[in-house]
Chain A
Amino acid sequence: MSGAKRGPNQRGPQVLFYAVPARIRLKELVCRLVGACGLHELPAQRRHCTYLDTFDRAILQTDGVLIYLESEQDKHLLWRGQGRLQASLPIESQPRMADDLPPSRVGRELAKRMGIRALLPLLQTRQSLRRFVKLDDEDKTLLRLDLIDESVDHKRPHRYLAVESMIGYPKALKDLRDGLARCGCRPLPRDPSHDLFTDADVATQPAPPWNDYQLLPGERADVAARLILGKLRQEMQRNLDGTLKDLDSEFLHDFRVSVRRTRSLLGQIKGVFPQRRLQRFSEAFAWLGSITGPTRDLDVYLLTLPDYQARLPSQQGEALGALRDYLVQHQKSEQRALAKLLGGARYKKLMDDWGVFLAEPPPLRSHLPNAALPVVEVAGRRIWKLFRRVIREGRAISAQSPPEDLHELRKSCKKLRYLLEFFKGLYPEADIKLLVAELKQLQDNLGDYQDLAVQQASFEGFRGGMEKEAMLTERVDAALVHLVELLAEREAEVRKEFDEHFRRFEAKPVRRLFASLFKPSKADSPEDAQQVE
């Protein structure tokens, strides 16, 4: 037993699956299990199974299978993984969020995998189960064997055997394995739920990262841009259903990020598409950005409220519970309004038209300056420009600079970051990784600084809002005032840390790498190099 093996249970019951050979009659198999292997049959059961996982398949990704089981007797949450039964817990109802899980270690381990994502039903099946046990002479269970017929939608059931070993009784397991082999039962190579998933067309893998596309450096810029924008459109549509139903807050978040990326790309690559055709779409995406904002803001405050509560003395932290009620109410009504818009005709028409535009073949001849240029040239020039802007704006910031200057820099950084992500496939992977990491540490500082300012304003706003709705007691008010003070203190600290982060970003190796990858070779403006070197 090694001390390093924390996490999933390494010693829980082993679970082995076997196929039932077609040539043996069921009656005969049972007869031999009971006779030769000395098993006892318990009363049969019927169960309804709901297989659960997050949208990004956090459980399946770690070789786990999570099932909510309902039978006439009880409700259970079953977790298998790494060839073992990790947990089988009585539970009141189908869990959705991490908070619905028990606070014990298995609950925490599942919660860690889920993060803030909801458990969604992947597949519903029915099982009819005959259970056999091996008992010793004191009627202690030494091993269990289930003969399971499991079906989706009354289709032909999958039949398999599930053996559950028990720690400390290896001989019973060995005897049964030998017995099963003699009956011609072969071990199944994987958890049988995967066959059910395959049959029902349930995806067991998370979607690949959205920017997992291939770009050729010589590709026309307008062709490449259509490809990227098309991927972003797909990403919005992929997250639409979850956003409409508010399955968890990540759907809306990912939806919004795709909108923001789309807007950023449209705004940055000039001379690729006819401006008059883009106009309408740019306005529509701005509209999408603004209608999704209020719900997202409330989601964020709901997600981070426990952190704020933890920062306050415990009494004040508890008082903020009232803020949760306020936020929940408002989130619900904003979400309803949002779902109405995103489920409505305007959104649908936008996406349809956008899809048509993106599917258009590129014009053979174009008067636009950049449309037919190789994408690597257009991308490189733009990235180089943004990088120089970041350096210029950053260097101009002193201890006395107003917050607006940092916020401008934050926006430039974000644009640069998006460009690096759009076009990462054109450059060596390790280089882009490194540059993104360097940029990210700067963005984190700038983002925190901005967020802290916004948060103070928001909490002031909540105070006003709660007062209007007669939800603001003295205790809540005191907690909010204190919280705003703490946020202001933190804001000042984060501001002080800016220099260090910027200096790291503008270090020579980073500048060199940017220049070597993106600086236009025919140095259209020779002073560029001096400016950043």
Chain B
Amino acid sequence: MKILASYNIKGGVGKTATAVNLAWLASREGYRTVIWDLDPQGAASFYFRIRPKVKGGAKGLLTGDRPLDEAVRATDYMGLDLIPADFSYRNLDVALQDARKPAKQLLRLMKPLADEYDFLILDASPNISLVSENIFNAADALLLPLIPTTLSVRTYRQLLSFFEKHPQKRLLLLPFFSMVDRRRGMHRELMDELPRKYPEILSTAIPYASQVEAMGSRRQPVGVFSSANHPIVQAYRSLWNEILNKL
């Protein structure tokens, strides 16, 4: 099982949209996939119409009273399951601190799922904390949506300097442009400039598309209510293929 985390220090950059749409595509190709909605806001759970509630909350999971596996819910899509968010996740940092090896707890919880799934996709909340450290320790790759703005680039640099101080041997960084609006000069300039500086940036860019916003009212992955050759569906597919090739 590969663990992919949709992550960024910055909020509102398309992390959840990425996790939800890529997970859906993966399952359509026959990969058994599960999303873990780690964001107490529960946006991913919302998109799948699944109640953001885990019996026993973060505590129950960490003490082992409630194995993660029991929290799994099927989505409406074959081969795609979800572990819902829970409001208690807002205190996950605190709960983690009490455990032994606090930065490895989430990996420990996810391990038993390895036999059941090909991909576990984490939808993280925006910040850098003990939870994110857990994610770095568990994930095979970080999917990093970058809006081509100076502010976004700044947080990307922050993340890179964090990894310089805390090197992660086997963690693959997969940044890609997100919510791209080619009408905007700054987007065009940065997309021209940044890949030279950061060659790890994937070549697929996810455009700004009203279809993604519509996910909020449809409460479905874009591919479910858009035609297969809609540019946004194709962009996510091409992103997914690029990621598969890197793994």
Contact = CB atoms under 8 A, between A and B. Distances in A.
Contact of B30 (A85, A104, A138): A104
Contact of A167 (B49, B81, B112): B81
Contacts of A453: none
A316 B116 CA distance: 37
B87 interface: no
A105 B74 contact: no
Interface majority SS (helix, strand, loop, mixed), chain B:
loop
Contact of A89 (B28, B69, B74): B28
Given A102-B30, A138-B219, 4 more contacts: A3-B112, A88-B79, A140-B76, A169-B73
B32 interface: yes
19 contacts: A6-B115, A9-B116, A12-B79, A88-B79, A104-B30, A104-B31, A104-B32, A104-B118, A105-B32, A105-B118, A106-B32, A138-B49, A139-B219, A140-B48, A141-B76, A166-B74, A167-B72, A168-B72, A168-B74
B74 A13 contact: yes
A443 to B, nearest CB: 38
Q: Please indicate which of the listed interface residues A1, A3, A141 has the most CB atoms of chain B within 10 Å of its own CB.
A: A1
Nearest to B32: A105
Say which size band chain A's interface belongs to. 20 to 34
A87 interface: yes
A31 to B, nearest CB: 25
Interface string A1-36: 101011001111100000000000000000000000
Nearest to B78: A88
Interface in B19-46: 26, 28-32
Interface in B50-106: 50-51, 67, 69, 71-74, 76, 78-79, 81
Interface majority SS (helix, strand, loop, mixed), chain A:
loop
Contacts of B219: 138-139
A168 B73 contact: yes
Nearest to A168: B73
A103 B241 CA distance: 12
B67 to A, nearest CB: 8
A9 B34 CA distance: 14
A90 interface: yes
A140 to B, nearest CB: 4
A-B complex: 3 closest residue pairs judged by Cβ atoms = A168-B73, A104-B30, A166-B74
Contact of A1 (B30, B81, B115, B118): B115
Contact of B115 (A5, A103, A141): A5
Contact of A169 (B28, B74, B78, B116): B74
Interface in A363-388: none
Contacts of A6: 115
A101 B71 CA distance: 31
A107 interface: yes
A10 B113 CA distance: 12
Q: Please indicate which of the listed interface residues B69, B112, B115 has the most CB atoms of chain A within 10 Å of its own CB.
A: B115
Contacts of A136: 49
Contact of B29 (A5, A12, A13, A104): A104
A139 B74 contact: no
Contacts of B30: 87, 89, 101-102, 104-107
Given A1-B116, A5-B115, A11-B116, A89 B72 contact: no
B115 A89 contact: no
A382 B29 CA distance: 57
B115 A90 contact: no
Given A11-B116, A167-B72, A89 B50 contact: no
